[in-house]
Each structure stands twice: as C-alpha cells, then as structure tokens.
Structure 1
C-alpha cells in the first residue's frame, strides 16, 4: 500500500481542504469501477499477520478518492497490486500506520462498505463556462457515491439530467447562468437528496454551495 495522490481520478481538489484529510484510499481498478465508487466509504482491518498488524486489529475508515492504476509489467503478487482482479487499497502513509507497521508495505486486509459520516451538507463546486457547466459533488454522507445528478434552474419546469464527466464531476450543456439552481442527487443505495435553490441567481463559476446531505 503506497501513498496516494491528492485529488486524482475522482476529480476532488485539495483533499485536506475538502475535509477528507488523509483518511482516503486509491482503489484498484476492480473496486474503482470507472469512477462510480468515488466517495464511497470503507472500514479496513489488517488481518492474519501478527508480525505487522497493529495489536487489537484497529479499524481504519477511509473514503475512496482516487484510482490506483494497474501496472501490467509486474505480476499481480509482486508489484502489480492494483492489477485486475485484485481488490486493493492504496493508502497514504499516516492512514496505513493506523492499522499496520510501516515496514510491512503490503498487508492482508478485511474490508467492508460503511456509511459515510460527513460534517455539514453536500457541496456543489461549479466550474466551466456559460455553455458548459461542470459540477463537482463532494462531502456526501450516507452511501457516499453518487450515481446520478439532476439540475434545474428557477426558470425551468423540467429537470436536466447531467452526464458523468469523470469521477464525481458532472456536466451539462444546458445554459444555467442567471438562474437559482436546484440539484437532485441519487446515491448508490437508491436514496435521493434534493437541495432546493442552493445558489443565488448571480452565482459565479468557481464557487461552492452547500446543500442537503444524507443522514
């Protein structure tokens, strides 16, 4: 388990500033699922290694924020840890040290999906231009990983379904400038959350707005 890169394949920015800190993981290709797992939370325990596991098998709770890319020039059990079909978590060193000794490098783990506990509401960071709007959805509680995003301006009756650009960045060519925006997100567990009129009419690209989170 090597140190992962801030931001990365999920589209998140400064992980520390966004509240994810070092409790994050880059997932192997199988777990990453083309970015659909971005934002999901896991409980990880070091198991079956008395030499390197921390006593008592403490739990580590992490959010999936990046991809650990495969390295096909190395075998799956000797350097190609993130090659399919391996289920592998690439951790930042401070996170790794919570469950195992640093010298171990690679450890066997048990893991499971757990609900994400986040402070405050879902955040929507808007970028792009008047004819192409890109929205990063982050700080998502509950299931954590978003499977669909819809947006509606205050002048529109109909919802616009956004397309996944990459990770948790969602795009639309619908012109939204000058309207107060409402976002509806659906998580992988099927639950939806609607954040009504989270932006003022004069919102600007580069701004972040806070909506209603999952419990």
Structure 2
C-alpha cells in the first residue's frame, strides 16, 4: 500500500460559489467591518474588498486575498477581481459580498449594468497571495486603547497566503510570553499590558506550515491610540 501525502494547506484551485454586493454611496469598503480594520478596510487594495461567510473563520480569515470571477463569459472578464477580506456577511447562499467597486471589476466594459441587474451571480474563487508593494506588516494601536491600562491592536498589510492565528506579548518580569485575547476579527487586546516597549510574536499559518514570528520592541513605551507601527516582518 502506498500512502499519499496530505494535501497542502494552500488552496491552488477554483471553488464554485456565488457572490453579491453591498450598498455603498462611494463604492468603497466599510469602516465598521467585522474584521476591525476601520478606515483601512475602506480603501485597502483600491477598495476591492469583500465580506465573507464561511471564509471568515472566526476572524482568522480577515486579511486573506482571493481571486473571484463571475462564470458568465458574456458579461464577465476572464480574470475577475482580486479582493481582500475585510468583513463578515451572509447573503443569498453567497460566500462573497463584494464592495460595489470590486463587483464592477468582474464585468466587461459594456456589461456593468447587466451584472448589477443580476444582483447575485455564480462565481468561482481561489486563494491568492496578498501583495502590498513597499509595506511590511503593521501593528496599529486600536482607537479604543487607553494608555497605559488597556491595549488593543489591529494587524495591517498581512502579505502572502497567511493566517495569523494568535498573538503573544512578552512579559519581561515573568520572562514568558502571554497570549493576547482575540477580541474580534484581527483585533487582539490585553488589560494592563507590560510597561516599556512592547514585543510581540505572531503564530502564523501559511504555505510553509505553522510558525512563530517575533517583532521585538515593535510598540514604543509611550504608545498612542490610533497610531500604526511598522514591523520588520514581511509575510510571504
């Protein structure tokens, strides 16, 4: 008997599904998405973003990138649109609820009105690497943080085919890593965080398997709510 190797984690094939779009006066994303991205979720990836249902994965699916293409060749392009997951949403048996801009990008030049008239269309999708030219992973201090007693962070520019499963914070007095709580989406928090510069480590799952990636002193000792701090990490 020959035992076949386990299938790789990365998805390199198209899956059939359905997609729709949500109302937006400016055709961009929403700052109140379930991932917790805030304003970043409105315009990241040129506002080609989407809410997802089963692909949300309790928040670990936030920040993932997919190629989504409509399967009607008469009104849709062959390549479709590349989107970033920024929200959770359920539609009419749909996996994707696209921003109007992303939905439009699936249509041929002269077929946009026809595509929008359908409202819900059959699509196929595949996972693709996220690419943010010039950006490394950023740790943003969430606006609800209260220095120095409560720290919440949001992870931005998560490149490659990766999922960040958990975040730990270094507790210098105990000489150990302490898990932060996943509050929702990509928002992790902790009451009474350590004093001084804050070091983090991320448990990352991707095409190379499961690994820990450290970001020493990524948040300064006197941090400010609403500020994003760049790491030296590039997740590919």
The TM-score bracket by the shorter chain reads: 0.7 to 0.9
- 8 Å Cα contact 1:153-1:180 kept in structure 2: no
Which residue is equivalent to 1:132? 150
- Structure 2 unmatched ranges of 5 or more: 1-19, 24-28
Cα deviation digits, residues 92-132 of structure 1 (max 9, x gap): 11211111233332221111111211231111112422222
Do the aligned partners of residues 90 and 17 (structure 1) sit closer, same or farther apart at CA in structure 2, a change above 3 Å counting? Answer: closer
Note if 1:62 corresponds to 2:83.
Answer: yes
**What is the Cα deviation at residue 199 of structure 1?**
2.6
Q: Residue deviations 1:172-196, cap 9 Å, x none? A: 124234x111121122322332222
Task: Name the structure 2 match of 1:193.
Answer: 213
Q: Give the aligned length.
A: 196
Distance 1:25 1:89 in 2: 6
The CA distance in 1 between the partners of 2:220 and 2:153, in whole Å, is 16
Measured after TM superposition, the shift of residue 19 of structure 1 is: 3.2
Q: Do structure 1's residue 115 and structure 2's residue 122 form an aligned pair?
A: no
Q: CA–CA distance in 1 between the matches of 2:211 and 2:128?
A: 15
Distance in 2, matches of 1:166 and 1:198, equals 22
Q: CA RMSD in A?
A: 2.2
The aligned counterpart of 1:93 is 100
TM-score with structure 1 setting the length: 0.81
Q: Which structure: greater strand fraction? A: 2
2:226 equivalent to 1:206? yes
Structure 1 runs, 4 residues or longer, greater than 4 Å off: 153-156
Residues 26-65 of structure 1: matches in 2 within 5 Å?
26-28=51-53, 30-47=54-71, 49-54=72-77, 57-65=78-86
Contact 2:168 2:178 in 1 (8 A): yes
